[in-house]
Structure 1
Amino acid sequence: MDFAFSEEEVAIDEGLGNPKLCRNPGPGLYSHGPPFTSTPHILQQHEALSARELDHIFPIIDPKAKPATNHKVMVNSSNSSHMEGFSIDRPPFFSGNDYFYWKNRMTWFLKSMDLWDVIEDGPYIPTKIENGVVVSKPKQEWDEFDRKKIQLNARVIHCLYCAIDRNEYNHICQCKSAKDIWRWLEIIHEGNNKVKESKINILMRSYELFFMKDDESIVEMFTRFTNIINELQALGKVYTEYEKVMKILRSLPKKWEIKVTVIQEAKDLTKLPLEELIGSLMAYEITMKSRQQVEDMKKKSIIFKASIIDKEEEEASEEDEDLALIIRKIKKFIKCEKNKEKKFYPKKDSQKKELSNVENRRKT
């Protein structure tokens, strides 16, 4: 069968997911492909021929099948920060929230690109020695090495511009070096030395008052603990491994007292890594949960047996009450019958008494 379409028109575009013949060559809604739904209309003869050929080229295997991709999903360059995790060459995006998290990620990103020296040392300035004095080189005397070193500052500035939103850009757009940009972001989100000291005091108090909650798991507790430690470390306050281990052990509730005692006696806490401590506590937590489940099952079985016994006793007591009620009704019935006899035969009883009295008189 000869088709009315060329091979170029039938070829599927991998970027758009549909063949060229499905796109309207002119401007409009369908210039990049067919719509997901369309309004039916009466086909002309040439349109009907094209439709039959399309049905033959692209047969519908399952009419009820859902589309493999979401036709409504549109990629917006302004929201590209949400896709940053898919590329190791894309800097982490900062929108003004959680600066400590972004700062740490951005630091390692720049180090991985061999650009961190520009942040620490500032932009490279070509120099030369004249009459025993170090002076700046004029631009006309720059060599290839000088140009590459100067270009590094522009590369880092470009990375930082790509990693921040418009509000953050407004804060640092006047800076001429990557080092100044980094310093201004630190001042804005961390503050000066006095502000840092105040934040450190607040976090240190949270550290000192830290304890594990009753309804909290080891992982949840450790997550809260590391958040405090990381923020303190970002502000320059660092705790040793031993201090962290001791703080974790002191923060555990009373039900962990046996485990804490065992760890203190069996381990050298000055050499105990924090991850080993957390692993030991997590293993003990699993053991406690399994024991608790066994105890709960035992309690449920005891309660179930007790409920069965109570039910049987209730049924027996109900039977006894029913029997007692029947006996009471029988007694009441007999009593009623006796009262009826007395009411219907009172004369006979009086005549019997008179005859007995007369006989007694005769005998006397």
Structure 2
Amino acid sequence: MQTHLAIQDDEMWYVITDIPMKILKANIAVAITEGAPYRMEKPQEEWTNEDKRKANLNNVAKDILYKTLDKVTFSKIKMCRITKEIWEKLIQLCERNEITKENKLPVVVQKFDNIKMKIGESMNEYDRRVINIINELNALGKVYSNKKVALKVVRGLPKE
């Protein structure tokens, strides 16, 4: 049974990274070089259960991908017809997100480094600003120790 699942996984990955499977049959009447049979599309009325399963793999793969996406990402890929298009769009979106993260991190680190309590600002407001910056840093993969954050908060307080 595991061999059958491995074959299905390979077929599924093919559908995601290439094109939907075409169901073909040999046309022995037409021979190509060295007597190899010419392959032509098999009419649907001749499909076996295995042929139907393979032909449906694109729909199964699309369904799996759809169920893993949030509404925002889904809205960006819902017009794609085949799984390969969805996969390529997701790769493009993820790469763009990584580049955005890389570009945004230095800006947020600088915000953290330069944060100071403003004149007339309450301790709660200052604390909220610090927490927002810490959350941004965490989302970008940069984590500071509690000790470093506490020191930053204290150093950002006015002398009076």
TM-score (norm 1): 0.25
2:31 paired with 1:160: no
Q: Which has the higher contact order (CA 8 A, sep 6+)?
A: 2
The answer on whether the counterparts of 1:172 and 1:184 sit within 8 Å (CA) in structure 2 is no
Residue 253 of structure 1: aligned partner: 158
CA 1:135–1:230: 2 relative to 1, 3 Å: same
Residue 116 of structure 2: aligned partner: 211
Larger Rg belongs to: 1
1:63-142 equivalence runs, <5 A: 128=3, 135-137=6-8
1:1-364 equivalence runs, <5 A: 128=3, 135-137=6-8, 154=63, 157-158=66-67, 160=69, 163-164=71-72, 169=74, 171-173=76-78, 174=80, 176=83, 184-188=92-96, 190-192=97-99, 195-255=100-160
Cα distance in 2 for residues equivalent to 1:202 and 1:245: 21
Cα distance in 2 for residues equivalent to 1:249 and 1:243: 10
Structure 1 residue runs of 5 or longer lacking an equivalent are 1-125, 142-150, 256-364
Cα distance in 2 for residues equivalent to 1:241 and 1:179: 40
Cα distance in 1 for residues equivalent to 2:124 and 2:61: 42
Deviations 1:239-281 (Å, cap 9, x if unpaired)? 11111111111111112xxxxxxxxxxxxxxxxxxxxxxxxxx
CA 1:171–1:187: 2 relative to 1, 3 Å: farther
Cα distance in 2 for residues equivalent to 1:215 and 1:153: 55
Cα distance in 2 for residues equivalent to 1:136 and 1:236: 37
Taking only aligned residues, the RMSD between alpha carbons, in angstroms, comes to 3.9
Could you list the structure 1 runs, at least 4 aligned residues long, displaced by more than 6 angstroms after superposition. 138-141, 177-182
- Residue 176 of structure 1 deviates from its aligned partner by 3.6
CA 1:181–1:248: 2 relative to 1, 3 Å: farther
Matched residues, number? 110
Cα distance in 1 for residues equivalent to 2:142 and 2:154: 21
Q: Which amino acid aligns with 1:237?
A: K
Deviations 1:291-343 (Å, cap 9, x if unpaired)? xxxxxxxxxxxxxxxxxxxxxxxxxxxxxxxxxxxxxxxxxxxxxxxxxxxxx
Cα distance in 1 for residues equivalent to 2:104 and 2:133: 11
SS at match of 2:3: strand
Q: Which amino acid aligns with 2:113?
A: E
CA 1:202–1:219: 2 relative to 1, 3 Å: same
Structure 2 residue runs of 5 or longer lacking an equivalent are 13-48, 51-59
TM-score (norm 2): 0.51
Q: Between Structure 1 and Structure 2, which shows a larger proportion of strand residues?
A: 2
